[in-house]
Structures are given as C-alpha cells and as structure tokens.
C-alpha cells in the first residue's frame, strides 16, 4: 500500500489518538499523522515528554490542527487524561519504545499517553522501535506477550538499519505499513478471533531458472497473499508469510520468509506449518522445472532452431500438506486461478481441484481475460469440502482476505 489515499478510503471522520514515544524514529510519526489526516481522520497527537525532544509540539499541532500536551495536569477542567481515550476510535503508538511497552504492560499511568491507554476501550496498536538488543531482551518480549494476551496489537518491528552502524530487528515499520494495519483494524472491526493462532500464508509466484537469466514463472504479484497476511495480523494471529519473488514491502507485524523456487517454498512452508493452526496457499508455485539448469546463458543457434528443454513436475505443496497432517489442524486452504474451457466451467474445474487436493477450503478466482492478477480489487468464490460455498463480491483484496479468515474461523470453532 502506498501513501496515496483513494476516494474509497475517504469516510466519516474517526477519532484517532497518535501516541509518540521518545525515540529517534519519532520523526516518522509525522508521515503517519499525515496519512491519517489525508484519509479524513481527526487525529490527536499525544507525545511523551521525551518525544518532544525529538520532534517539537509545534510540528504536531501544525500537522494535526489540534493542540498538543503531555501532562495530565494540562486542561484539568476537561479531564483530558480520560476524555481523549474515551472518545477514540483507535489508539496507535508509533514509535513505541521499550519503556512505553513496559509501562503499558504493567498498567503504569504517569503521563498523558499512559493514562490515555488505560482509559481507552478502542483498539490499540503498538509499533515498536528500539535497538535489537532491547527488542530481544526477555523483559521486552514478556511485556509484548502480556500486551498481546490482553488484546492489544503489537506489530513486529522491521529489520534494517538502526541508528549509527547497527542493523537488525528493531526498526520502526514504514508509516504506510502501520497505516495499512490501522486502516484494516478500523475498516473491518472484529474481535481478535485469531489471537493465539499461528497461521502460515504463501504469496507470489515461484521461478524455475533455465539459465542465469531466464526462468519459468507466472503473473502472480503476491497482492492477495499479502492482504491475507495483513488481515490475519489485524485479527491477532501470529503470521508467517512465505513470499516468492514479491516486491511489496513487508507487512507490519508479520514474519516474512523470502524464497525463489518451488522447492524453496515447499521447504519453508512445511517447516513453518509444523505448529500452525491454518495454512493458506495463496501463492502460485510453478508446476514444472527444467531437469537441468544451464550454468551460462543459453545462446541462440542463429539457424532458426530452438533448444529443447526437458521439464519435470514440481512437488505439489498443497497436496503434501493435506497428506502429512495427522489431525484436523492445520486448516488448509488452497487457491484456484481458473478459466473455463470446452471441458467445463470455472467452478467445474475448481470443484474437481478441491476433490483432488483434499484441502478444507478452496478460494476460486476467475482469471479469464487477465482478471485478478496485479489488480487492487478482486472477487472470489470460497468452496469447502463439506459443500460450503460463499461468494465474495468485487472489491478490495482485503475483503477477500477477511472472507477467507471468516470461513477458517468457522471451521476452527
């Protein structure tokens, strides 16, 4: 998702509280604030006193159009330490430092931000940012677990360059990714019905190289798989996303494992699904690979002839997941990108695939005339081994994603 806000995102204004902790990443919160205001939300910025040492109150007031304070004794007559949280539709803390996470986990309330967190019944999203050692410290990890168990959304930090020469997990997710996670939570309010569940999602299209520059592949962009990962994270799940040749930014709060070939995807998916509660195979693995891969670029013969390439069938990851599970978990979901032909309709082929694969659910996309691929919107029909069928009308791919998780939750319960 980019920072551009579409007309479909403009809505009845909602009250958002943007908490800003005292870390070097505080400057990125200004971009997050702009994304909220441009989408039509009304934002109250609540920085900590240390946050104002990085970005001053004047910046927050100019961008939000609202006064900024940090002290519970400011505007005492309006009882703002309670009112701000009570009126919020969402509270997002970005960056959330180790200190702020610790205070929130232990119910401390010694400034306006922490009292707001205690007073609000709105969804709360924390976007952590700190040095790797601080993020991985057992105390911080215990605080994160506590917050998640209480229903708060704590995004995983991004991996990358930190301050100085340091690099590793602890970087604030990009504002666009935090904004996307928050929009998903606000636009599709649900109980955290996937809290405590580990889900695995595959996305993108694998590549099988003929030589160092050419490969067999497909048109999958990974957009639907990424939408599924984001939706699951917004519903409280621990998400592992296995992404094949996708150029999209990592979704906030999601563990991303990047692969190239079908064999690499198989290894990553099977490893991640060992303790998974659900696996959604939204990727498009290549069905075939060359028997041999040339070590140098295959040259033209310049006599009108083309090289003969022998192919072998790739492993069927979806079928293997079904065959190797020993109980009703994980719930296994496949995708079918189908076109009708002389042998049957899209749904005829889809029902045949569902029976052949043996998965619990199959998400069917009609890809005739290039539909669905690389498009922001989609439509689908979800069918189940038990005769379940649900159509998802045209709309953003997030709608299809939530419809898939709705169906999975029904099976889980």
Hey, how many other C-beta atoms are within 10 angstroms of the C-beta on 395?
14
* Whether 330 and 380 share a structural domain: yes
Give how many domains the chain has, as a whole number: 2
Which of 170-179, 185-194, 379-388 has the weakest average pLDDT? 185-194
Q: At what angle do helices 397-412 and 223-234 cross, to 10 degrees?
A: 50
| Residue 137, domain member (yes or no) | yes
Q: How far is CA 82 from the centre of its chain?
A: 32
* Whether 289 and 386 share a structural domain: yes
| Residue 208, domain member (yes or no) | yes
What percent of the chain clears pLDDT 70, i.e. is strictly above it?
92
- Residue 79: pLDDT band (50, 70, 90) is very low
Q: Is the pLDDT of residue 24 over 60?
A: yes
| Residue 2, domain member (yes or no) | no
* Whether 138 and 233 share a structural domain: no
Instruction: Work out the widest C-alpha separation in the chain, in whole angstroms.
Output: 89
Distance separating the N- and C-terminal Cα atoms of the chain: 32
What residues are paired with 365 via a beta bridge? Answer: 337
Each residue of 309-362: pLDDT tens digit? 999 999 999 999 999 998 878 999 999 988 888 888 899 999 999 999 999 999
Q: How far is CA 320 from the centre of its chain?
A: 25
Structural domain containing residue 261: 198-412
Determine how β-strand 124-128 pairs with β-strand 90-96.
Answer: parallel
Each residue of 390-407: pLDDT tens digit? 999 988 888 899 999 999
Domain boundary among 187, 206, 223: 187
Residue 221 to residues 124, 125, 224, 365, 401, Cα–Cα distance (Å): 31, 28, 8, 14, 15
**For range 361-382, the mean pLDDT:** 81
Q: Is the pLDDT of residue 188 over 80?
A: no
User: In terms of pTM, does the model score above 0.85?
Assistant: no
Task: Judge whether 218 counts as a catalytic residue.
Answer: yes
Backbone angles phi, psi at 72, to 5 degrees: -65, -15
Nearest to 277 by CA among 321, 332, 339: 332
* Whether 168 and 215 share a structural domain: no
* Helices marked H in 220-342: 223-234, 262-272, 317-324
Q: What is the pLDDT of residue 283?
A: 96
Backbone angles phi, psi at 350, to 5 degrees: -65, -45
Residues 6+ apart with CB under 8 A from 280: 199, 200, 201, 202, 225, 228, 333, 335, 404, 408
Residues in the chain, how many?
A: 413
* Whether 130 and 277 share a structural domain: no
| Residue 293, domain member (yes or no) | yes
* Whether 85 and 216 share a structural domain: no
| Residue 192, domain member (yes or no) | no
Which helix (H) or strand (E) segment holds residue 148: the answer is helix 138-149
Q: What is the pLDDT of residue 258?
A: 95
User: Please, what sign has the CA dihedral across residues 52, 57, 61, 62?
Assistant: negative
Instruction: Tell me the C-alpha distance between 150 and 147, whole Å.
Output: 5
Hey, how many other C-beta atoms are within 10 angstroms of the C-beta on 319?
15
Q: What is the pLDDT of residue 81?
A: 57
Q: At what angle do helices 223-234 and 175-187 cross, to 10 degrees?
A: 70
Burial class from Cβ neighbours inside 10 Å (0-12, 13-18, 19+) for residue 329 reads middle
Q: What is the pLDDT of residue 310?
A: 94
Which of 79-83, 91-95, 363-367 has the weakest average pLDDT? 79-83
Instruction: Tell me the C-alpha distance between 127 and 97, whole Å.
Output: 9
CATH number at residue 121: 3.40.50.1950
* Whether 271 and 353 share a structural domain: yes
Domain boundary among 187, 209, 227: 187
* Whether 106 and 228 share a structural domain: no
Nearest to 272 by CA among 242, 247, 299, 246: 242
- Residue 18: pLDDT band (50, 70, 90) is very high
CATH number at residue 245: 3.40.50.10300
* Whether 183 and 229 share a structural domain: no
**Annotated active-site residue in 75, 99, 137, 218:** 218
* Whether 292 and 350 share a structural domain: yes
Q: What is the pLDDT of residue 239?
A: 93
């Amino acid at each position: 998702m980019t920072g551009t806000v579409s007309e479909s995102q403009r809505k009845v204004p909602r009250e958002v509280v943007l908490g800003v902790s005292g870390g070097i990443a505080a400057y990125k919160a200004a971009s997050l604030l702009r994304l909220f205001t441009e989408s039509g939300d009304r934002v109250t910025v609540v920085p900590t006193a240390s946050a104002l040492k990085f970005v001053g109150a004047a910046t927050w007031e100019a961008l939000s159009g609202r006064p900024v304070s940090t002290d519970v004794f400011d505007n005492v007559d309006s009882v703002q330490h309670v009112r701000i949280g009570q009126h919020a539709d969402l509270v997002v803390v970005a960056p959330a430092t180790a200190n702020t996470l610790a205070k929130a986990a232990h119910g401390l309330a010694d400034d306006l931000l922490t009292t707001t967190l205690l007073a609000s019944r709105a969804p709360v999203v924390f976007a952590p940012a700190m040095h790797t050692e601080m993020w991985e410290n057992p105390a911080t990890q215990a605080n994160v677990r506590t917050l998640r168990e209480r229903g708060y959304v704590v995004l995983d930090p991004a991996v990358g360059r930190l301050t100085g020469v340091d690099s590793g997990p602890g970087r604030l997710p990009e504002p666009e990714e935090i904004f996307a996670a928050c929009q998903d939570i606000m636009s599709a309010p649900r109980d955290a019905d996937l809290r405590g569940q580990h889900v695995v999602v595959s996305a993108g299209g694998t590549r099988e190289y003929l030589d160092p520059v050419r490969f067999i592949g497909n048109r999958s962009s990974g957009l639907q798989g990424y939408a599924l990962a984001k939706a699951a994270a917004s519903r409280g799940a621990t998400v592992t996303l296995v992404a094949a040749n996708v150029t999209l930014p990592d979704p906030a709060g999601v563990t991303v494992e990047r692969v190239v070939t079908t064999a690499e995807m198989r290894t990553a998916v099977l490893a991640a699904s060992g303790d998974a509660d659900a696996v959604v195979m939204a990727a498009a693995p290549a069905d075939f690979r060359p028997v041999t891969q040339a070590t140098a670029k295959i040259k033209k013969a310049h006599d009108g002839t083309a090289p003969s390439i022998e192919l072998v069938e790739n492993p069927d990851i979806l079928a293997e997941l079904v065959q190797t599970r020993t109980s009703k978990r994980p719930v296994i979901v496949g995708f079918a990108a189908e076109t009708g032909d002389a042998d049957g309709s899209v749904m005829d082929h889809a029902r045949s695939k569902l029976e052949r694969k043996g998965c619990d659910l199959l998400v069917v996309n009609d890809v005739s005339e290039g539909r669905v691929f690389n498009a922001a919107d989609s439509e689908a029909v979800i069918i189940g081994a038990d005769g379940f069928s649900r159509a998802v009308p045209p709309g953003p791919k997030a709608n299809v994603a939530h419809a898939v998780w709705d169906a999975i939750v029904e099976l889980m319960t």
